[in-house]
Amino acid sequence: MKILVAPQEFKGSISALSASEAAKNGILRVFPEAEVVLCPVADGGDGTLETLVEVSGGEVRTCSVQNPIGETIQAQWGAMGDGVTAVIEMARTSGLALLSLDERDPLNASTYGLGQAISEALNEGFRKFIVGIGGSATNDAGAGMAQALGANLLDARGNTISFGGAALSSLQTVDISNMDSRIKESKFLVACDVSNPLTGEEGASAVYGPQKGATPEMVQRLDDALSNFATVVKKDLKKDVAEMSGAGAAGGLGAGMMAFMGAELKAGVDIVLDTVNLRDKLSSVDLVITGEGGMDFQTIYNKAPIGVARIASEHNIPTIAIAGLLGSNFKIVHEHGIRAATSIVNGPITLEEASDRAFELISDSVEESLRFISVGMDLV
């Protein structure tokens, strides 16, 4: 028997790699001769950086950047083991979690720090980038990022515009002639799980602005500024980003990544599963085991376990799942390729204890699941 183990992290409890090793431990208790292939995964959100670094034998590095309001912080980025691919999460440079409630300022918050992190990776020789753009504090369409990388964003008088989304209202010229030339040598994949356009009722400002601290008046101001940005980008860069799917992600950073970096936007889970070569690893596999910390109705929306199950189904390989918690309407996953799901918790337990015992609980849960499979095999 050949079994592929492909869980994502159990958030706050155990990494994807350790969860995979725990599952392997449980498998071998029941099928000691089984061939077990470990393939830790992620969905492009939290834990993606660490998972891809661990899987590839890379390392987490640190660089100095400006946070959304211009303060110097230390931000982590991932250097994958291939020596070519960098993993950068904008939440670590320009994210909402970096600010207190009182510091949230969508009019002036900037993605400048993201550009600094990209520059650092370029300096280290990396030319392929996986960029996660969830959790942003900004609404500047990646203007700050572009400025950090050498772009000139000018007003009607030829002066550089200030940082932040509001400043885009005065933008008249986008000049990328002095942008870092190494960007043209590089490939950018952006983990994006939303399809919002840049502006309008479903755009960046209206949908995501309020959670970043924008009042209704600010939302309108920011939306108008992004509309002006799109107009100038179309004029100077010949790219029409206004209606592109995902342009409104992360305060318009989706648009900026496409306009300035030539990036491709894809579902985060698809980027990760391609990067870890899941399809190749499914060769001659009999069973797939996936999992996550909490499995519920939201799991079907581009979460890693569903991505794994979808690809396994294409190869007619059954998938089962383990979870820290089976939540509301979790059974909907059965309609999306996960044949069976079980919780690792088998009795009353505190969250702290469950986290501390995650390796043991995962091993035991997988063991019992495979004992059921063993019984079924005997009955056939």
pLDDT over 90 (residue 11) = no
Task: Express each pLDDT in 340-352 by its tens digit.
Answer: 999 999 888 888 8
Mean pLDDT of 147-176: 97
Output the average pLDDT for the chain.
Answer: 95
Domains, the chain, ordered by start: 2-41+280-379 (3.40.50.10350), 48-268 (3.90.1510.10)
- Region of residue 57 (left: phi > 0; alpha: psi -120 to 50; beta: else): left
Got the DSSP string for 229-241? HHHHHHHHH----
Q: What is the pLDDT of residue 292?
A: 95
CA–CA gap between residue 164 and residue 146 (Å, rounded): 12
pLDDT over 90 (residue 224) = yes
Task: Express each pLDDT in 186-202 by its tens digit.
Answer: 999 999 988 899 999 99
Please, which pLDDT band fits residue 373 given cuts at 50, 70 and 90?
Answer: very high
What is the four-CA torsion angle of 144, 150, 156, 162, rounded to 10 degrees? 30
Contact predicate 106/68, CB 8 Å: no
Q: What is the pTM of this model?
A: 0.89
Looking at this protein, which amino acid is placed at residue 59? E
Question: Crossing angle of helices 16-30/48-56, nearest 10°?
Answer: 60
Q: What is the pLDDT of residue 277?
A: 93
pLDDT over 80 (residue 380) = no
Count CA atoms closer than 13 A to 89's CA, side-chain side: 27
Beta bridge partners of 6: 290
Q: What is the pLDDT of residue 194?
A: 87
CA–CA gap between residue 102 and residue 99 (Å, rounded): 8
Contact predicate 362/328, CB 8 Å: no
Task: Express each pLDDT in 42-100 by its tens digit.
Answer: 988 888 999 999 989 999 999 999 999 999 999 999 999 999 999 999 999 999 999 99
Q: Which of helix, strand or coil describes residue 275? A: helix
